[in-house]
Structure 1
Amino acid sequence: MSHPPLRIRKAAVLGAGVMGAQIAAHLANADVQTLLFDLPAKDGDKNGIALKAIANLAKLSPAPLAEKAKVGGITPANYDEHLEALRGCDLIIEAIAERLDWKLDLYKKIAPYVSDSAVIASNTSGLSINALAEALPAALQPRFSGIHFFNPPRYMHLVELIPDSRTDRGVLAGLEAFLTTTLGKGVVHAKDTPNFIGNRIGVFSILATMHHTAQSGLGFDLVDALTGPVIGRPKSATYRTADVVGLDTMAHVIKTMADTLPDDPWHAHFQSPAWLSALIAKGALGQKTGAGIYTKRGKDIVVLDLAQQDYVPAAAKPSDEVAAILAIRNPAEKFGKLRAASDPQAQFLWAVFRDLFHYSAYHLADIADTARDVDLAIRWGYGWKLGPFETWQTAGWADVAKWIAEDIAAGKAMSTAPLPAWVGKVDGVHHAGGSYSPRTGKDEPRSSHPVYARQLFPDALVGETFDTGTTLWENDGVRLWRHGGERVGILSFKTKMNTVNDAVLDGIQLAIGYAEKNLDAIVIWQDSDKAFSAGADLKGMLGFVQAGQIDRLETMIANFQKTSMRIKYSLVPVVAAVRGLALGGGCEFQMHCARTVAALESYIGLVEAGVGLLPAGGGLKEIAVRASQRTADGDAFPEIKRMFEAVAQAKTSGSAFEAKQLGLLRPDDVVVFNGFELLYVAKQVAAAMAESGYRPPLPANAVTVAGDVGLATLRMALVNMLEGRFISAHDDVIATRIGDVLCGGAIERGSQVDEQWLLDLERRHFFELAQMPKTQERIAHTLATGKPLRN
């Protein structure tokens, strides 16, 4: 299936509301010039509404912009003055309010200005795409489709692509490739049915949870404790999610389901509970108004108690029996016990799952082509670890189907509609060969669209398997392996959160030795979107100090530095493929690689100061080397000063672009928007470096340092901060030592040193800090709580 690529130089987003502005921001993240349109302002600058929306992007959290400067890619516009500018746009995304009449009016207004090759899409969350297409001239209809981003658009992986009956398949394929690679999204094809896939199933799950909350009489905070991480869903669970989304928005979506799905067998349940309507009437709409189902009183979070008609402290926890059931690892055993238990919390959970499975199976054929589309939509759009069909399959397909049928017959389910016949003919919906499609009655493989050849390890569903390559060499810490027949090795760590211990350090060095004899290049890549590496094994290091085994700590740090230098001076290029956390030693390793390929959502930082230490795996040395290389006039200090603040404050980048600003990635390091394409791109980069006759850098024997004058200048700033109580006395000690390494020690400004000089400084300061009681308190506190201690 080959289609010409969709080349998008310039885009327009129509509607500068919350979603429109954030879609524009994400297009700008990808360096797509974007016009953000809205109605002309009644007073002052006619672009006032769009200008205000653009200014607001900087205030939102999580940040829609991958770095502040990206806002320069968005130009404000209004429908009175700038419709002509649409002629130069290759992609137009309409994102105004969910009113069919308003959307149709807007389409009629813009139609004369749309170029013959532009692609048009509506970011509707549930209106009919075919009905919207009717408002466009016949010539534009083949280039129109629905394109539904989930909120917030930068972070939510899901985009639903909904073709109109007239949409050109080549246009759709081009749009899918653009969304996948350029914007980094996971695309799911949905049928043109109300609320599509994600919200149809996701909102039903919330409705079912609300229904069973009322039936069981459980409190909102207890339901959230039962429907969050303990069952593989986000911390915001059910009712906190409703507060974040907005209770008015939630009610609107429920009303849309009631209005547009009159024949749905669950229709009687498509109504807002009385308490929800009462909160909306009072203006308590959730997070945006400061109160909803939850609110804050002082520092405490309180939750609405319906019996008392007031807020009470939110502290409910699952019962001991249910906590024990949820802790069971075998899903089949867990679900069997949930259904059999008499505990009201267990009965509540079984009922919520039962009705979700029932609804998903009943509607699969109407809303999606395969069960894969449903599970990925819910995972990517709602943040669940497993989709509904995956959860059912792991719990034992046939047993659960029998229990659902029994509950329907007994009148316990929310609807009397029977399970579809196909449920009894399969043993699950996901297998090695594909996922079940009611349309064909068999498992259908994943899409053959060429863009997916870039995903060597796509987001695997339960029951799916992928070739995990051939192991070339391994020890307890790492595995060196090959995927396919090429001569690029992949090095992966085996530790929790890919932390660094002795086995990892030795493994990296030995793997590079193997590669220099047998391969062309190495990519360091982890099969985790959470962490490239969370840094050194703190627990192990604290153990050495507490046991008085300082020599073992010394050996480990020397080995850490040796490993970083082995990476830097490897005779074959070593490329880091970073996504998620790259902290401390993880950051230092990628700094020593020949090149880093980083996913957009990479959170990179030298964060040792937070636990009372300083980076000693060569990170400070590398900053000093880079600062020296970048100085035109021999004064490394301005660059050192910028980097010093980031390290002393243990800053972590909010994106790969911010890591470039912080100097932790190089200007020519590669940023990839789709984390599932990271390994493919990193292998291409590594192979290209090898093909171009790669040589490691020459030893940095003449590093110009800022010396005693540089350190004295940093000390002045620290004294002011200490006196102003912005930092503690121990922060001052740590920061001074960081500054000492970065400036090359107490030597004359402009002196030249080699890398070993800087490494020795790193190591000496590290040991002295590690033996201080306040540092040990910080490490112990972080290990116990996951949070830094400012002592």
Structure 2
Amino acid sequence: MSQLLIRKVAVLGAGVMGAQIAAHLVNAGVDTVLFDLPAKEGPANGVVDKAIANLGKLSPAPLASKSLAAAITPANYDQHLELLRGCDLVIEAIAERMDWKKALYGKIAPYLAPHAILASNTSGLSINGLADVLPEELHSRFCGVHFFNPPRYMHLAELIPCRKTDRQVLEGLETFLVTTLGKGVVYAKDTPNFIGNRIGVFSILSTLHHTAESGLGFDEVDALTGPLLGRPKSATYRTSDVVGLDTMAHVVKTMADTLPDDPWHAYFKTPAWMQALIDKGALGQKAGAGIYVKKGKDILVLDLGKQDYRPASGQADPGVVEILKLKDPVEKFARLRAGEHPQARFLWALFRDLFHYSAYHLDSIADTARDVDLAIRWGYGWSLGPFETWQAAGWKQLAEWIAEDIVAGKAMAQVPLPDWVFDGRDGVHAAQGSFSPTRGELLPRSNLAVYNRQRFPDPVLGERANPGETVFEDDSVRMWHDGDGIAVLGFKTKMNTVSDGVLAGIQKAVDIAERDFRGLVLWQAKEPFSAGADLSGALASLQAGKLAEFEAMVKTFQATSQRIKYALVPVVAAVRGMALGGGCEFQMHSARAVLALESYIGLVEAGVGLLPAGGGLKEIAVRASAAAGPGGDVFAVLKPWFEAVAMAKVSGSALEAKELKLARESDVVVFNAYELLHVAKAQARALAESGYRPPLPARRAQVAGDVGIATFRMMLENMLEGRFISEHDYEIGKRIATVLCGGEVDRGSLVDEDWLLALEREHFIALAQMPKTQERIMHTLKTGKPLRN
């Protein structure tokens, strides 16, 4: 099959979704044109210009680097339709009005290239209905692509074919979505709200219904339906406020209008209390008030009994919390069903009706149960989908209990569960695939070539990938391989922190890799890459007065970073999530880093009263010398680095890490985190194939010296006088400057790496002994937050 080539994309509609889809396309390096109506006043592109400018103000940030806003080409339908002729993909993302979308299609169709794909980002309108207005020759190149909001961060993209969509078009587009944009693609049938919103919105409607039935408060329900159930902190009602109550009402109305025969149709309505909030403009977070409102520092929640707001203090009952924390899901559900507490009864009813609805509609909305579970996990942030939850809790017993409740009139709808639920099965997921009611069998995952890049795809219950052949394993690390000449090392500590065991494990792995492999990849099975050094262990040594032991640990840390840098085989760091402190230093010393887009990288030691001492400051000094060149201005090069370290800056993306110089321009950015290991191994292999040799030791690094230190101290003194920093911040900053500038030597002096490493150790140990630093460390360990003292 010929590859689908997408050089340029047009996005139609510069609203919330359209502008953010355009932002994510330019994140991925895709040439993008953003269209909207011409402005009624001022420049014709005013609507789009305003939308692009707003991208830099949104949180979470749609752009991986604010500079990328300039890469989006603004356009309007009156003047620039000719630009569509050069686009390979056109994504329509205007308001959810069938008539508006059809009218726009009629306008743009004559300008589309003969090979171009047209995709609608509708969240629930009929794809076949939209296709009706298109010329016949476009039907094979038309489909739905539903991104979830915010499109940069939400993994899910639903792909919805129309009756005549060409299979090659779909597979090409799927490959583009998966690798270029980093999405998890689920095929949905052309039914209202598709899969994610069909099940997800029903879950919200069910929660609304059972909240009213149980008499629980909105804050009480949020305490139950968030992390305790493996769902986002915003739970149900806070999520509704974030989404917007008017948006929620619109989605519910869409379900009511388009699903008149759904057995649960009676519940597809906006509650009177929600409509009252909408009518008075209390639309949620965007309006400053909704179900919740903030008054000063206090969070208030709507109390329907009082018809007013009250302090949000609702909590999960301790007995119910005890049930929810049970590790055995079978026992957990048995106790929920038998529970007498209103919260237990509420939760049983919530799960019962979710399972009932999902099973009843599976055949009509999706090809397999896997599609439903992944859609809900990727689109709504649940740790388990509905079918996974049901299967883990004992399929047969739960099916019997659900059926009993249906017969007893306790369920929201009285339709029976499908026959396949009772055919003797123990669930819908197994190692060989997931159940398809249409086919009546288990279907494996897609065999599309793009998925060969995912060594460990996101598994559903019952799936287990081959873990590879273990080289060695202890309590801190595991080294393994696939027989391809590239070894992989992962950490086993909490948050993948760097302990003595991890340091020893890295050094041992490098030794083995040099002897038996062509390369080594540092990769973690779960995020983060590393939250940095094990502060608790370091603090214990200090408080016990074991200064020699503490200094030896710092020396070992530095030696490990150097071992990574000077290994005779390429060591590649595969980073996703946080790479803080020592984690950042390891990737700085690697032959190459492969970074997932969502990599949050920083030398953050200043936040706990320390400075980087795993070779990070040494490495910056060496790089600054190389960047300045012989006789160049090293200080000017160092300045942005100093600010990043002294202020403990953390990148908001892999692209920002490059801007902060904490990652190199040569480091690779990967958009799909599940492809990270594949790309990292490919990079290690390519370096090895190219005759890799480690860099020569930096024996003559030019430093900024005493003049540089004095200049940095002036900057710090100004900040101290302006009360932007504390006395201890000043002390930390002064010592960071001293190391970065190579110590109190003449400007332009030449030093080697050992000199710089010794400076790191000296100032790190001095700071570590200070009471205020130890206060910061203890506060961070206790609260997870930095202390300003």
TM-score normalised by structure 1 residue count = 0.99
Question: How far has the Cα of 1:474 moved from its partner?
Answer: 2.4
Alignment of 1:207-218 (within 5 A): 207-218=205-216
**C-alpha displacement at 1:638, in angstroms?**
1.3
SS for the counterpart of 2:593 is: strand
Counterpart pick for 1:728 among 711, 722, 726: 726
Deviation of residue 441 (structure 1)? Answer: 1.0
Q: In the alignment, what sits opposite 1:470? A: 469
Inter-partner Cα distance in structure 2 for 1:618 and 1:424: 61
Out of 218, 221, 224, the position equivalent to 1:223 is: 221
**1:119 and 2:108 aligned:** no
For residues 4 and 384 of structure 1, the distance between their equivalents in structure 2, rounded to whole angstroms, comes to 37
Deviations 1:298-345 (A, max 9, x none): 011111111111111112111121011112111111111000010000
Tell me the distance in 2 between the aligned counterparts of 1:22 and 1:215: 39
- Counterpart of 2:502 in 1: which secondary structure? helix
Equivalent in the alignment of 1:492: 490
Maintained 8 Å contact 1:575/1:594: yes
The 2-side partners of 1:198 and 1:378 are apart by: 5
From 568, 571, 574, the counterpart of 1:571: 568
- AA in 1 matched with 2:10: A
Alpha-carbon distance in structure 1 between the residues aligned to 2:563 and 2:43: 59
**1:533 maps to amino acid:** S
Deviations along 1:539-582, one digit per CA (max 9) or x if unpaired, are: 11111112212222111111000100000000000000000010
Aligned to 1:283: 281
Q: Displacement of 1:86 after TM fit?
A: 0.6
Distance 1:638 1:124 in 2: 50
CA offset at residue 146 of structure 1?
0.1
Q: Which residue of 2 aligns with 1:582?
A: 579
Map 1:160-309 → 2, pairs under 5 A: 160-309=158-307
Instruction: Name the counterpart of 2:620.
Output: 623
1:136 aligns with 2:166: no
* Structure 1 residue ranges (4+ consecutive) displaced by more than 3 angstroms after TM superposition: none
Q: Are positions 1:613 and 2:645 aligned together? A: no
What SS does the corresponding residue of 1:527 show, helix, strand or coil?
coil
Distance 1:461 1:168 in 2: 29
CA contact (8 A) 1:5 1:174 kept: yes
Q: Is the 1:108–1:136 contact (alpha carbons within 8 Å) kept by the matching residues of 2? A: yes
Residues 622-678 of structure 1, C-alpha deviation per residue, up to 9 Å, x if partnerless? 001111111134221112111000000111000000000001100110000000000
Equivalent-residue separation in structure 2 for 1:50 and 1:86 (angstroms): 16
Q: Aligned-pair distance for 1:72? A: 2.0
SS of residue paired to 1:533: coil
Shift of 1:750: 0.4
Residue 275 of structure 1: CA displacement?
A: 0.6
Question: Which amino acid letter does the alignment assign opposite residue 766 of structure 2?
Answer: E
What does residue 783 of structure 1 align with? 781
| Residue in 1 that maps onto 2:39 | 41
Q: Does 1:540 align with 2:537?
A: yes
Does the residue aligned with 1:139 lie in a helix, a strand or coil? helix
Q: Which residue of 2 aligns with 1:656?
A: 654
Displacement after TM superposition at 1:38 (Å)? 0.5
Following the alignment from structure 1 to structure 2, what is the Cα–Cα distance between the partners of residues 428 and 647? 52
- Give, as a single letter, the amino acid of the residue that structure 2 aligns with 1:603: Y
Per-residue Cα deviation, 1:48-71 (whole angstroms, up to 9, x for no partner): 000000000000000000001111
Determine if contact 1:32/1:73 at 8 Å carries over to the other structure. no
**Amino acid corresponding to residue 458 of structure 2 in structure 1:** D
Q: Any idea what SS the aligned residue of 1:285 has?
A: coil
Q: Secondary structure at the match of 2:33?
A: strand
Q: Does 2:384 correspond to 1:381?
A: no
Residue 595 of structure 2 corresponds to 598
1:442 partner letter: E
Aligned to 2:316: 318
Alpha-carbon distance in 2 for matches of 1:652, 1:393 = 40
Aligned equivalents of 1:369 and 1:327: distance in 2?
A: 33
What SS class does the counterpart of residue 630 from structure 1 fall into? helix
Q: Deviations over 1:161-215 (max 9, x none)?
A: 0000000000000000000000000000000000000000000000000000000
- In the alignment, residue 455 of structure 1 is paired with which amino acid? Q
Match of residue 480 from structure 2:
481
The C-alpha deviation readout for 1:59-101, integer Å capped at 9, x for no partner, is 0000000001111220111010001111011110000000000
Unmatched runs of 5 consecutive residues or more in structure 1: none
Aligned equivalents of 2:547, 2:283: Cα separation in 1: 57
For the 8 Å contact 1:598–1:656, the answer to whether it is kept is yes
**For 2:772, which of 763, 774, 779 is the aligned residue?**
774
Provide the rounded CA distance (Å) in 1 between the counterparts of 2:66 and 2:281: 33
Counterpart code for 2:286: K
Q: Which of 336, 340, 343 is the matching residue for 2:341?
A: 343
Structure 2: distance between partners of 1:13 and 1:98: 15
Letter in 2 for 1:722: L
Query: 1:214-258 deviations in whole A, cap 9, x for unaligned?
Result: 000100000000000011000000000000000000000000000
- 1:221 aligned partner, one-letter code: D
Give the AA of the match of 2:723: R
| 2:326 aligned partner | 328
Partner of 2:396: 398
Gaps of 5+ in 2: none
Task: Choose from 756, 759, 763 the match for 2:757.
Answer: 759
| 1:694-773 alignment runs, 5 A limit | 694-773=692-771
**Correspondence 1:679 to 2:694:** no
In the aligned structure 2, how far is the partner of 1:677 from the partner of 1:321?
42
Q: Which residue is 1:428 aligned to? A: 427
Q: How does 1:90-101 map to 2 (within 5 A)?
A: 90-101=88-99
RMSD: 0.7
Summarize deviations over 1:95-127 as a string: whole Å, max 9, x none.
000000000000000001001011110000000
One-letter amino acid of the structure 2 residue matched with residue 620 of structure 1: L
Contact kept, 8 Å, 1:707 with 1:748, in 2: the verdict is yes
Query: Matched residue of 1:140: which SS?
Result: helix
Cα separation, 2, equivalents of 1:478 and 1:705:
37
Conserved 8 A contact 1:597-1:670: yes
8 A contact 1:614–1:766 mirrored in 2: yes
1:71 and 1:672 mapped to 2: Cα distance? 20
1: CA distance, partners of 2:384 / 2:166: 33
Measured in 2, the distance between the counterparts of 1:173 and 1:427 equals 33
Report the Cα distance in structure 1 between the residues aligned to 2:300 and 2:783, rounded to whole angstroms: 23
CA distance in 1, matches of 2:771, 2:405: 61
* Structure 2 residue matching 1:464: 3-state secondary structure: coil
Mapped partners of 1:277, 1:474: distance in 2: 58
User: Counterparts of 1:419 and 1:476 in 2: how far apart (Å)?
Assistant: 47
Residues 467-486 of structure 1: per-residue CA shift (max 9 Å, x gap) = 00000122321111002x21
What is the rounded CA distance, in whole Å, between the counterparts of 1:770 and 1:550 in structure 2?
10
